């Protein structure tokens, strides 16, 4: 039985099926389960330790809460409440107390954790290099069409004023594109991260 099948079975036994639950991937890579609603979606990632990282995203794609579910039934209850359009505040305080509503800095670190723990070979080199750079680690990672973007942590995803992207040009080589600015030469991941950090340090 797959994880999604187990979640569905438990939900059906409780009398509240999960109608839009599936597996696949979200913006940051493969997920064990994902549930879409009009208000956003929830992704569940299974860790080797047996824990389940639950991340809650609003309709804009902003991370609004996350946490490690104590058990599978806690995941089911969280998904069911989100499917029933329970407000985020009530979800975190009443149904899924393991969830932490996000602040900008904590959300950024959670996103880096998600990225560095996912096995996305095409992102591995640049994620590793960027995550090791203190200046870049303070920026919010955002993945679009296989490209790692880093956004100023204070900017919303759809209102970015300061950001940059690492456009892949081959195996572990990239061009750094500064938003509203130039695109640099082809560089290896470590050099590209250093180039990006020099600009981000001025923001």
DSSP string, 101-144: E--HHHHHHHHHHHHHTS--HHHHHHHHHHHTSHHHHTSEEEEE
CA distance 66 to 42: 9
CB 59 within 8 Å of CB 38: yes
Report, as an integer, the average pLDDT of 109-118: 89
pLDDT category of residue 195 using cuts at 50, 70 and 90: very high
Lowest average pLDDT, out of 178-182, 185-189, 190-194, goes to 178-182
CA distance 163 to 21: 33
pLDDT category of residue 103 using cuts at 50, 70 and 90: confident
pTM of the full structure: 0.88
Report, as an integer, the average pLDDT of 147-171: 88
Q: What's the pLDDT at 201?
A: 96
Lowest average pLDDT, out of 6-10, 41-45, 150-154, 172-176, goes to 150-154
Asked if the model's pLDDT at residue 119 lies above 80, the reply is no
CB 56 within 8 Å of CB 40: yes
Give per-residue pLDDT as tens, 132-143: 999 999 999 999
The CA–CA distances, whole Å, from 86 to 9, 75, 90, 128, 192 equal 22, 15, 7, 37, 43
pLDDT category of residue 193 using cuts at 50, 70 and 90: very high
Asked if the model's pLDDT at residue 104 lies above 90, the reply is no
Nearest-CA neighbor of 81 among 30, 156, 143, 11? 11
Average pLDDT score, the chain: 92
What share of the chain in percent tops pLDDT 70? 100
């Amino acid at each position: 039985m797959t994880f999604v099948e187990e979640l569905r079975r438990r939900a059906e036994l409780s009398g509240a099926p999960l109608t839009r639950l599936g597996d696949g991937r979200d913006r940051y890579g493969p997920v064990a389960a994902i549930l879409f609603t009009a208000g956003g979606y929830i992704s569940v990632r299974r860790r080797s330790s047996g824990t389940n990282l639950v991340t809650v995203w609003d309709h804009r794609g902003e991370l609004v809460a996350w946490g490690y579910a104590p058990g599978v039934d806690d995941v089911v209850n969280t998904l069911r409440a989100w499917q029933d359009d329970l407000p985020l505040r009530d979800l975190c305080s009443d149904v899924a107390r393991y969830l932490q509503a996000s602040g900008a800095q904590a959300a950024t670190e959670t996103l880096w954790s998600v990225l560095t723990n996912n096995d996305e070979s095409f992102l591995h080199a640049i994620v590793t290099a960027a995550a090791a750079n203190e200046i870049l680690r303070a920026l919010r990672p955002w993945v679009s069409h296989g490209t790692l973007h880093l956004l100023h942590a204070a900017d919303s995803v759809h209102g970015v004023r300061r950001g940059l992207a690492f456009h892949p040009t081959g195996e572990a080589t990239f061009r750094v594109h500064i938003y509203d600015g130039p695109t640099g030469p082809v560089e290896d991941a470590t050099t590209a991260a250093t180039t990006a950090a020099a600009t981000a340090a001025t923001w």
